[in-house]
Structure 1
Amino acid sequence: MRRLVPVTDETVVDARGGTTGGDGAWGPAELAAAYAYPESAAGVRPVPWLRANMVSSLDGAAEHDGRSAPLSGPADQRVFHTLRALADAVVIGAETVRHEGYGPARAGTGFEAARAAAGQGVAPAIAVVSAGLDLDFTLPLFAEPLVPTLVVTGAGAPAEGVAAAEKAGVKVVFAGDGASVDPGRVVAVLGGLGFTRLLAEGGPRLLGQMVASDVLDEMCVTFSPTLAAGDAQRIAWGPAVPDPLRFALVSLMEEDGFLFGRYRRA
């Protein structure tokens, strides 16, 4: 892994525009420092802070054949697991749970001490956003989690779905007055439960709703050196915003042709 932006006193810019010095094999500590959640001058984190993490092909595809895994690689997986290890809760849409075969979050190797020091559990909670609650609550994600999985839905969700979730021991929280889920309320409700370091992993529909609701604080994007073509979705899909939301580049890293961009609300 090499850091391209920002260029620090420890980074030497070579004649080819690359970087050398201090950028060898990055372990958990180096990656955790690179992606640390922000703190105020008083050492208090903003409450809550929502970051998203997505992978995109060179031609803008968020998936290939319905899954994001074909666009990924070893370096991207290290960043993926680092972002999870830093989070209190991982927010995902029900469609992504079904298509990606999501299982329970596991304890991240090398991050145990850091999570304990931050007052976090052994692994982040998974918060599944679903309006219709059309979910299989016998899946390991719900039946065998290290940390109890949550389902976030609207107050008008089907009663039978709520009953099925609760019968399976899944905590149901409501973020919206009607049948749909309000992304802004999702952030507030999870923050009220103590989940202040939030990580959204998609899919494109959920991320699109978050963008339209203007609740995203940070966007982490892996640019994969692949071309997918076809009719794949972009990383965010949904209602348009009146004007493009402006984010500022915080850092850019590279490994094996993959670019890892980190952007914050400008």
Structure 2
Amino acid sequence: MTDEVRRLGAMFAATDDEITDWYTVPRRADRWLRVNFIASLDGAATHDGRSAGLGTPADKRVFGLLRRLADVILIGAGTVRAEGYGGQLLDDAGRAWREERGLPPHPVVAVVSARLDLDPDSPLFSAAPVRPLVLTTRQAPAERRAALAEVSDVLDSGGTAVDTRLMRELLAERGLRQVHCEGGPHLLGTLIEEGTVDELCLTLSPRLEGGTARRITDGGRITPTGMTLAHVLTGDDGTLLLRYVRAQTVS
């Protein structure tokens, strides 16, 4: 199994620079929220409770390249607990790529958590190459807020629930305009409901999972949102990497 990736119908495998170019937003100064998920062919978002269990070499390669483009990597607290985050999220080549283009070597990591159910001693904070952000609510528990404020910048993004529209404003004020969201399903449901998704990168893993695994969205009101297919990439193992951008109108 290889990590070769090509455009659908292309004769030659793509280079890292070509793939990165295909996903680059035309103007970095624009605010842009990209969401990245993987699912099985029958719609499961996890294998054994983790999205990483569905990963393929092609998906992992593109996933790493998308992180290079981000000002901030956005993650829901549940995904942090389930998947495990901490330390360097980019490899040496990715950090060098960013520095060559005048970007900080590592994106900021921002965690969305209304209840602040996060361990301040976890590698997410203790091994972070850049001080993380925690996006929470004004009613979050005071003791947890104080503990997390020692290891991160805690920002209020709503009263009783995180408002993702306000969240985007707060990130942009810090110069974090290119947002790469890595889950989870509850956060995606909120982003869809509040109309803050600009792009969905969806990998279809070439497998049937069965069972009762979650979808890539969980919660939030039904909010039909038109999307336009930007491109399709394929891996030699049958992986499909779909890129959709937000349409102007819903038909």
Fold conserved between structures, TM > 0.5: yes
What's 1:174 paired with? 156
Pick aligned residue for 2:218 from 228, 232, 237:
237
Pick aligned residue for 1:142 from 125, 130, 143:
125
1:221-236 alignment, distance < 5 Å: 221-236=202-217
- TM-superposed CA distance for 1:118, in Å, is 4.1
- TM-superposed CA distance for 1:117, in Å, is 4.5
Contact 1:104–1:126 (8 Å) recurs in 2: no
Distance in 1 between residues matched to 2:87 and 2:37, nearest whole Å: 19
What's 1:204 paired with? 185
Contact 1:85–1:108 (8 Å) recurs in 2: no
Distance in 2 between residues matched to 1:264 and 1:85, nearest whole Å: 19
1:119-134 alignment, distance < 5 Å: 119-134=102-117
- How much is the aligned-residue C-alpha RMSD, in angstroms? 1.5
Distance in 1 between residues matched to 2:220 and 2:96, nearest whole Å: 41
What's 1:250 paired with? 230
- TM-superposed CA distance for 1:225, in Å, is 0.5
Distance in 2 between residues matched to 1:201 and 1:107, nearest whole Å: 14
Distance in 1 between residues matched to 2:61 and 2:36, nearest whole Å: 13
- TM-superposed CA distance for 1:166, in Å, is 1.4
- Secondary structure at 2:93 match in 1: coil
Please tell me whether residue 162 in structure 1 is matched to residue 145 in structure 2. yes
Contact 1:28–1:110 (8 Å) recurs in 2: no
What's 1:10 paired with? none
Deviations 1:31-51 (A, max 9, x none): 211211232xxxx631x2100
Contact 1:88–1:195 (8 Å) recurs in 2: yes
Greater shift after overlay, 195-204 or 115-124?
Answer: 115-124
- TM-superposed CA distance for 1:179, in Å, is 2.5
What's 1:33 paired with? 21
Distance in 2 between residues matched to 1:2 and 1:123, nearest whole Å: 27
Tell me the number of residue pairs that the alignment of Structure 1 and Structure 2 aligns.
242
Contact 2:233–2:242 (8 Å) recurs in 1: yes
What's 2:53 paired with? 70
Deviations 1:86-135 (A, max 9, x none): 10101000000001111234333333454225432111111000000111
Distance in 2 between residues matched to 1:110 and 1:30, nearest whole Å: 15
What's 2:29 paired with? 45
Distance in 2 between residues matched to 1:133 and 1:68, nearest whole Å: 22
Distance in 2 between residues matched to 1:38 and 1:120, nearest whole Å: 16
TM-score by length of 1: 0.87
TM-score by length of 2: 0.92
Percent sequence identity over aligned pairs: 44
What's 1:19 paired with? 10
List runs of 5+ in structure 2 lacking aligned partners: none
